[in-house]
Amino acid sequence: MPIPARLDLHSLKLLIISLAAVAAAAFTPGALAQSGPVKLEWITWSFFRFTTPGGKVILTNPFITGNPDAAAGIKLEEVGKADLILVTDAHRDELGDAVAIAKATGAKIVTPAFEMGNLLIAWGVPEAQVMRRNPGARFAWDGITIRVVGSVHGSGGRDPSGDYKPIYGGVAGGFVVTFENGYTVYFAGSSAATQDMALWAEAYKPDAMIFLMAPNSEPLDAGMAVKLVAGKSPGLKMLLPHHHRVSPPPGALTVAEMRKVLDSMGINIPITTLAPRQSVELTK
């Protein structure tokens, strides 16, 4: 607000009131919440829980039933609040318990393929809760932007009834999530390294990358995935593995091995490892 060269008492009072109103708006609980941290928890496998500055709860690949590490994570009835679920493909360890959680909580599910949306509706998820998307699409929601990107991975599923007849879930995907505070996370899903990762990094500039570190992952492939993103996103400052076991089996890819590979590539970004249900705060 411009300040007049000369102020009478009445004008001075109006100016003080206006400045106080501007200051109050800047420090309202809502404004502070939007600039606060994102809470990220690793549950197990590729199941993460984000609690956003605005209080939204976002789950990725909520694999509980049949999870070999389920005892270290949470029970289905302990999931609690869920507003949005991101599912990267129709494999049982990615789709997990998304259907049951969506039915119980009313959470929306963002799919990486239109075909998966059809499956979810057929399995009883209300159509209004299914956000059908494909790679290259986005979902803008309450100050949060979720972009769907591709993934080099399969997406065949099977009916929840236990029938092993394969069901086509459409293409697999990954997600780039920008939260209310501006922090951006690239969740690569189960993708192998692909040059496309550099394109997404250049476009969306993630601050953190959740990369695939499955027990049978090829270390150089996992390293190249990180290198492709790091080379085009100078602000990348955190790496988090997923798909690894709580107690890795013999021969499984380890964080130490990944560190050695990344060091050989000149990538000094730290790898943040979390225990099941441990959390970390994400801020710009």
| Tens digit of each residue's pLDDT (9 = 90 or more) over 109-145 | 999 999 999 999 999 999 999 999 999 999 999 999 9
Question: Could you give phi then psi for residue 202, rounded to 5 degrees?
Answer: -65, -40
Q: Does residue 31 lie in a domain region?
A: no
Helix (H) or strand (E) holding 9: helix 9-26
Q: Residue 223's closest CA among 211, 215, 214, 235?
A: 211
CATH number for position 136:
3.60.15.10
% of the chain beyond a pLDDT of 70: 86
| Tens digit of each residue's pLDDT (9 = 90 or more) over 46-87 | 999 999 999 999 999 999 999 999 999 999 999 999 999 999
Total domains present in the chain? 1
Q: Does residue 185 lie in a domain region?
A: yes
What is the pLDDT, as a whole number, of residue 8? 60
Q: Does residue 153 lie in a domain region?
A: yes
Q: Residue 208's closest CA among 94, 284, 111, 110?
A: 284
Question: Could you give phi then psi for residue 26, rounded to 5 degrees?
Answer: -70, -25
Question: Where in the sequence is the domain holding 212, given as residue range(s)?
Answer: 38-274
**Alpha carbon of residue 197 to chain centroid:** 16
pTM: 0.88
Asked whether residue 152 carries a pLDDT value surpassing 80, the answer given is yes
Q: Is 43 exposed, middle or buried (0-12, 13-18, 19+ CB in 10 A)?
A: buried
Q: Does residue 263 lie in a domain region?
A: yes
Q: Does residue 32 lie in a domain region?
A: no
Q: Residue 95's closest CA among 171, 175, 155, 41?
A: 155
